[in-house]
Amino acid sequence: MQAQYIFIHDALLEAVICGNTEVNVKDLANRMRSLEQVNPETNRTLLEEEFERLSYNLAENHIYQAGFLEVNASKNRFASVVPIESTRLKLWPYPDIEGSDYINANFVDGYQLREAFILTQAPMENTVEDFWRMIWEYEVFSIVMLSSGDEHDETHCFPYWPFNAEPANIGLLIIQIAAEENKTGFVKREFRATNSKTGETRVITHFMYYDWPEDKSPDDPSLLIAMIGQLQKAQQMTGNSSIAVHCSDGCGRSGAIAATMFCIERLKVEGIVDVFQTVRMMRTQRPHVIRTLDQYLYCYKAVQKFVDKFSDYANFK
């Protein structure tokens, strides 16, 4: 009885503190304007206050285990970012090798698909093989890379594909570039991955959005919306398996694109947008999803840009 009482109490308290953040798509622009208003009592915008409420009562419920083990410490790009245990993606372990199942990655749900996303950190020199093991073992056919600066910068992301015509041997896999197409704002590649043990070959589509710094979101979400469209087409051709998304830490920018895609899919079906609860849900599965206020605002802007581009959704009944 006491546990039930505590559950009801916490649920009601959360509802009071977090409020109702659902908005009909036709009212989204007005909602965004209202969030720009300043609360005279706190001298902060309503958007800032909403962003701060995202973390209410979440972190204390997270359980971390494998990410803090000494054997796995060197596999974390940032010591403060380790995967939540309940949604941690596990590799097939090697016999008698402790930690061989570990990669810094979490499954995150989409709107209508469980484990729609794998949010993961950018590969490091000592985790490139694990990254490709993950892609192969979980039959990932789409990878999204959110980058800033030079794609050859190993401090941001260790190169995990060949930059010339020569194939790269990574663990059991042979990786080749089958096609490459420069789009406005992003590059679309096709990798041909061959398992040297079984001979099986798969084509994996790679989308690299190359102008998204860690500290500031892009000015115009149109290019991201265009890339999402290309990504969804690629997914439809391969059976909608999990999409691997990475930035440097697999949380901030990676969370922003996952949340944007979730919101867009929901508004298509329901005509409802709820950026706040979408991000809160994702934070229960991957820590620090959307790190900055700027990234949070960018989600709103990207969803609104989608509505503006496809005006039929603006009149959703």
H and E: helices and strands count for the chain: 8, 13
Q: Where are the alpha helices (DSSP H) in the chain?
A: 2-18, 28-35, 46-53, 128-137, 222-238, 252-270, 275-283, 293-309
CA distances, 186 to each of 167, 180, 224, 231, 296 (Å): 23, 11, 8, 11, 21
The 10 Å Cβ neighbour count of residue 45 is: 17
The whole-number pLDDT of residue 153 equals 60
Which of these, 223, 239, 229, lies nearest to 116 by C-alpha position? 239
Q: Please tell me the distance from the alpha carbon of residue 171 to that of residue 149, in angstroms, as a whole number.
A: 28
What is the radius of gyration, based on Cα positions, of the chain? 20
CATH H superfamily, domain 2-315:
Protein tyrosine phosphatase superfamily (3.90.190.10)
Tens-digit pLDDT profile for the chain (317 aa)?
544 433 333 433 444 455 689 999 999 999 999 999 999 999 999 999 999 999 887 766 789 999 999 999 999 999 999 999 999 999 999 999 999 999 999 999 999 999 999 999 999 999 999 999 999 999 999 999 998 755 456 667 999 999 888 999 999 999 999 999 999 999 999 999 999 999 999 999 999 998 888 878 988 899 999 999 999 999 998 888 999 999 999 999 999 999 999 999 999 999 999 999 999 999 999 999 999 999 999 999 999 999 998 866 566 55
Token pair for residue 239? 């059976």
For residue 98, the one-letter residue type is E
Contact, 268 vs 313, CB < 8 A? yes
The whole-number pLDDT of residue 165 equals 80
